[in-house]
Amino acid sequence: MDAVNALLIPIFDLQLLGLIALGTFAGIYVGAIPGLSVTMAVSILISFTFTWEVYPALALMIGIYMGGVYGGSRTAILLNIPGAPSAIATALDGFPMAQQGKAGEAIGIVTVVSFIGGFIGIFALALFAPSLADFAIRFQPRDYFLLGVLGILLVGSLSGESLVKGIFSGALGIAIGSVGMDPLTFTERFTFEISGLRAGVSFVAVMIGMFGISEGLMQLHTVNTAAVKQTIGRIVPSWAQVRKHLPLGLQTSSIGTVIGALPGTGGDIAALMAYDHAKRVTKNPEVPFGKGAIEGLVAPETANNAAVGGAFIPMLTLGIPGDAVTAIMIGALFIHGLNPGPLLMTSQPDMFWFIVSSLMLANCFMLIFGLTGIRLFVKIVELPRTVLLPVILLLSIVGAYAVNNSLTDVYWMLGFGVFGYFMKLYGYPLGPVILGVILSRLLDDNWRRAIISDQESLWMLLKGTLASPLSLVLFAAVILIFLSKTPLWGLVFRRKTAA
Amino acid sequence: MQTKQPRRPGELVFNLAMVLGSLFLLWSAYGISGFEALSAPGAVPMVTTAAMLVCAVLIFRESLRKGASTDETVARDILPLPILVTIAAVAAYALLLRPLGFLPTSFLFLTGLIYYLGRYSLLRAALLSALIVLIIFLIFRIVFTVLMPPGIVPEAEILAWFRGLFAGRGA
């Protein structure tokens, strides 16, 4: 009964409903405008909503997340510039369709299949998360530690050009998250005798710097690029067209949900894997892939929206983010005094069902806003970036300042922004840094609990890991991911292929 | 790490800085509690910074092997003038925020950057900035209740005057 009540909260509360609608609407535009990312929007938003109650703050962020993942497809289709990384695969067939004068048809089908994918992801979240949380209560500290390491390794190996740079970024994030007083022994760590560092570095300043400022600086390289104008025809797709692609959409939605649920992996990887799956299973597409195949739109767009629901599964059940946006949302929950994980799921199940309901509503609003107001959309996307970028920078500064009313946070933000800009230029992924910052406490606490319970013996810890099926699976996954990126793996693989 | 991309200008220096920075952090992590115990407060920081150092050395070695890019320059592709100007503008904003206050600083920041980046006329950039600052102020001050330094602008009096105006009408 509590679950039903919590599910109904955002539906009957007009303020929450309005915030979800507003968030979804804004998310579509944020996701669509190249250079504005959902991660950037959500990280800036945290600093403005931290004084709010937790439900309205979450409602707005969930709307932006859902709308943003979908919105990225718009500019991928219209301009061949994916508005978000999760829309990279969409551009491969979406833009050729726009060049053939079928931009409206492409946007229409993408909207409907994103809605279907989104619902499957949310359904999986509602179905599996409660039982996973019950199971997660039995997790040992070493399992949490291994899950944290797994998340950083996964995002490090998949989001950048090399695993080594990914590990470096993740480790840097953990080091940044360790700055300040150790909560167990009150020993100072990385404070360099600067009193201002004893409370640690504001993670909001790190996030806004890394995702707001650095992205803004990167966009300055192409600030004067003129927008390509497109004409839009019929938008709402026919039922026959939707029905024809439904089986593929269901398969790729499942892929998206699973990939999204893996700690550290998000919609971008889900979309690329789904696109690859579609290419393999579609034997005779009407139009070849890469030249405007509808299947090339259905697969990535179902998968990236399904990954949204999937990403909430590890976040809510284990306190481990599914992707960069859920990492930031965990930060938002921390600010509101909540600690996501199995205990939150069992002690405050209404919070879980509120999130499920908000996601469902955001998905519905995405369908409505997606199929309407396209002409207004085209006008807004054509806004000059020379105006947009200074506004983003201003919002970033205000956001970094607002959390603690501290100018020091603004300087931190600028420092991390410039540093993040160089990292991006030289191919270091930024996602693992944020994941590292968020997971540093979890990793540190659970490592120390695990090793203390095993009497400070690495041998005992290893024996315990090998004796527990769950720990063993996690340990094997960590080792496999690591080995798969080393020359040794290539040697073994080549020998087997040669044999 | 098997990338065929050429080395970008400044990449070697940045990667070397990462090696030195990681080394310094490892030394600092060692200083937390040394090799006292596996559960000591410095254990995870030491492992983390050691991993950073190993990775940084591998990345540096890889960048040494790459050929330098011939068609890129630092001034054009890494730190072009608009980026330096923008970084300076953000730093100037932080410096002026307390003494001048949110409204004038934001107005100057936006006018300056829009004028510089967009090549608009100064008047157009100023009008556009005034409008944007007003919208941001109304949304964030009233909807999000974010408090920003008022500086030289008597913000509280202006807001009280507005409230009085509306209260007067309502009465």
Of A164, A171, A390, the CB nearest to B59: A164
How many beta-carbon pairs under 8 angstroms link A with B?
A: 167
Of A384, A401, A456, the CB nearest to B38: A456
Sign of the torsion angle spanned by Cα atoms B143, B148, B154, B156: positive
Mean pLDDT of A282-292: 85
Residue B41 lies in a domain: yes
Rounded-to-integer distance, Cα A90 and Cα A77, Å: 7
Same domain, B95 and B148: yes
Same domain, B120 and B97: yes
**Mutation target among A186, A198, A391 for the B interface, most CBs of B within 10 A:** A391
Residue B170 is predicted with a pLDDT of 42
| Amino acid (one-letter) located at A270 | A
Q: Is there a contact between A168 and B55 if contact means CB atoms under 8 Å apart? A: yes
Residue A252 is predicted with a pLDDT of 94
A144-192 tens-digit pLDDT: 899 888 878 877 766 666 889 989 999 999 999 999 999 888 899 999 9
Residue B4 lies in a domain: no
Residue B2 is predicted with a pLDDT of 45
Rounded-to-integer distance, Cα B90 and Cα A270, Å: 36
Residues of B in contact with A444 (CB under 8 A): 44
Residue B163 lies in a domain: no
Cβ neighbours of residue A269 closer than 8 Å, sequence gap 6 or more? A158, A159, A259
Residues of A in contact with B44 (CB under 8 A): 174, 178, 440, 443-444, 447-448
Residues of A in contact with B120 (CB under 8 A): 386
Of B32, B56, B113, the CB nearest to A390: B113
Shortest Cα distance, chain B CAs vs residue A236, angstroms: 34
Q: How confident is the model at residue A385 (pLDDT cuts 50, 70, 90)?
A: confident
Same domain, B111 and B141: yes
Of A161, A391, A411, the CB nearest to B94: A411
Rounded-to-integer distance, Cα B155 and Cα B134, Å: 12
Of B33, B39, B44, the CB nearest to A178: B44
Same domain, B59 and B97: no
Same domain, B73 and B89: no
Same domain, B110 and B50: no
Same domain, B142 and B125: yes
A440-451 tens-digit pLDDT: 888 999 999 999
Same domain, B59 and B102: no
SS (H, E, C) A165-202: HHHHHHHHHHHHHHCEECCCCCCEECCCCCHHHCCCCC
Residues of A in contact with B87 (CB under 8 A): 217, 414, 418
Rounded-to-integer distance, Cα A140 and Cα A143, Å: 5
Q: Which residue of A has its CA nearest to B93?
A: A397
Residue A381 is predicted with a pLDDT of 65
Mean pLDDT of A276-300: 88
**B64: domain range?**
11-77
Of B11, B113, B132, the CB nearest to A426: B11
Q: Which residue of A has its CA nearest to B37?
A: A456
Q: What percent of chain A is modeled with pLDDT above 70?
A: 90
Between these two residues, B28 and B151, which has the higher pLDDT value? B28
Listed residue (A68, A110, A62) closest to A89, CA to CA: A110
Q: What percent of chain B is modeled with pLDDT above 70?
A: 90
Question: Among the three residues B77, B99, B114, which one is the final residue of a domain in this structure?
Answer: B77
Q: Which residue of A has its CA nearest to B9?
A: A426
* Average pLDDT of the residues of chain B: 87
Q: What percent of chain A is modeled with pLDDT above 90?
A: 30
Cβ neighbours of residue A443 closer than 8 Å, sequence gap 6 or more? A145, A148, A149, A174, B44
Rounded-to-integer distance, Cα A253 and Cα A270, Å: 9
Shortest Cα distance, chain A CAs vs residue B147, angstroms: 7
Same domain, B84 and B69: no
Residue A344 is predicted with a pLDDT of 82
Q: Is there a contact between B39 and A451 if contact means CB atoms under 8 Å apart? A: yes
A432-479 tens-digit pLDDT: 888 888 888 889 999 999 999 998 899 999 999 999 998 999 899 888
Least confident of A99-108, A179-188, A347-356, A357-366: A99-108
Residue B107 lies in a domain: yes
DSSP string, A227-256: PPP------SPPHHHHHHHHHHHHHHHHHH
Q: Is there a contact between B94 and A397 if contact means CB atoms under 8 Å apart? A: yes
Same domain, B84 and B144: yes
Shortest Cα distance, chain A CAs vs residue B111, angstroms: 9
Residue A495 is predicted with a pLDDT of 60
Same domain, B45 and B98: no
Residue A238, CA distances (Å) to A112, A235, A253, A278 in order:
10, 9, 20, 21
Q: Which residue of A has its CA nearest to B11?
A: A426
pLDDT at B74 over 60: yes
Rounded-to-integer distance, Cα B171 and Cα B149, Å: 32
Rounded-to-integer distance, Cα A67 and Cα A79, Å: 19
Residue A36 is predicted with a pLDDT of 67
Rounded-to-integer distance, Cα A84 and Cα A82, Å: 5
Shortest Cα distance, chain B CAs vs residue A143, angstroms: 16
Residue B72 lies in a domain: yes
Shortest Cα distance, chain A CAs vs residue B163, angstroms: 23
Q: Is there a contact between A189 and B29 if contact means CB atoms under 8 Å apart? A: yes
Listed residue (A483, A487, A423) closest to A161, CA to CA: A423
pLDDT at A247 over 70: yes
Residue A369, CA distances (Å) to A10, A83, A96, A366 in order:
18, 17, 24, 5
Q: Is there a contact between A48 and B128 if contact means CB atoms under 8 Å apart? A: no
Residue B165 lies in a domain: no
Q: Which residue of A has its CA nearest to B106?
A: A394
DSSP B120: -
Question: Total domain count for chain B?
Answer: 2
Between these two residues, A323 and B31, which has the higher pLDDT value? B31
Residue A83 is predicted with a pLDDT of 66
Residues of B in contact with A390 (CB under 8 A): 109-110, 113-114, 117
DSSP A222: G
**Mutation target among B39, B84, B147 for the A interface, most CBs of A within 10 A:** B39
Question: Among the three residues B55, B77, B99, which one is the final residue of a domain in this structure?
Answer: B77
Q: Which residue of B has its CA nearest to A407?
A: B94
Give the pair of three-digit tokens for residue A59: 């409602």
Residues of B in contact with A171 (CB under 8 A): 48-49, 51-52, 55
Rounded-to-integer distance, Cα A17 and Cα A15, Å: 5
Please count the other Cβ atoms lying within 10 Å of the Cβ belonging to residue A372: 13
Rounded-to-integer distance, Cα B21 and Cα B94, Å: 26
| Amino acid (one-letter) located at B145 | T
The set of long-range contacts for A158-161, using a CB threshold of 8 Å and a minimum separation of 24, is A158/A264, A158/A265, A158/A269, A159/A268, A159/A269, A159/A429, A159/A431, A159/A432, A160/A427, A160/A428, A160/A429, A160/A432, A161/A427, A161/B3
A77-122 tens-digit pLDDT: 877 766 666 787 888 888 888 878 788 888 889 999 999 999 999 9
B130-168 tens-digit pLDDT: 999 988 888 777 766 777 888 788 877 777 777 677 665
Please count the other Cβ atoms lying within 10 Å of the Cβ belonging to residue A24: 29
Residue B161 is predicted with a pLDDT of 77
Rounded-to-integer distance, Cα B98 and Cα B93, Å: 9
Q: Is there a contact between A398 and B29 if contact means CB atoms under 8 Å apart? A: no
Question: Would you say A285 and A81 are in contact if contact means Cβ atoms under 8 Å apart?
Answer: no
DSSP string, B22-72: HHHHHHHHHHHHTTS-TTSTTHHHHHHHHHHHHHHHHHHHHHHHSPBPSS-
SS3 A399: helix
Question: Would you say A149 and A432 are in contact if contact means Cβ atoms under 8 Å apart?
Answer: no
Of A172, A192, A407, the CB nearest to B97: A407
Output phi, psi for B71, to 5 deg: -105, 15
Q: Which residue of B has its CA nearest to A422?
A: B14
Residue B18 lies in a domain: yes
Listed residue (A369, A368, A365, A361) closest to A9, CA to CA: A361
Q: Is there a contact between A162 and B1 if contact means CB atoms under 8 Å apart? A: yes
Q: Is there a contact between B48 and A175 if contact means CB atoms under 8 Å apart? A: yes
Q: Is there a contact between B29 and A49 if contact means CB atoms under 8 Å apart? A: no
Same domain, B56 and B67: yes
Of B51, B82, B148, the CB nearest to A167: B51
Q: Is there a contact between A190 and B45 if contact means CB atoms under 8 Å apart? A: yes
Residue A125 is predicted with a pLDDT of 93
H or E stretch covering B100: helix B81-100
The pTM (predicted TM-score) of the whole model is 0.79
Residue B168 lies in a domain: no
Residue B144, CA distances (Å) to A15, A305, B80, B147, B161 in order:
14, 29, 36, 9, 20
- Which ipTM was obtained for this model? 0.90
* Average pLDDT of the residues of chain A: 85
Give bridge partners of residue B22 from the DSSP assignment: none
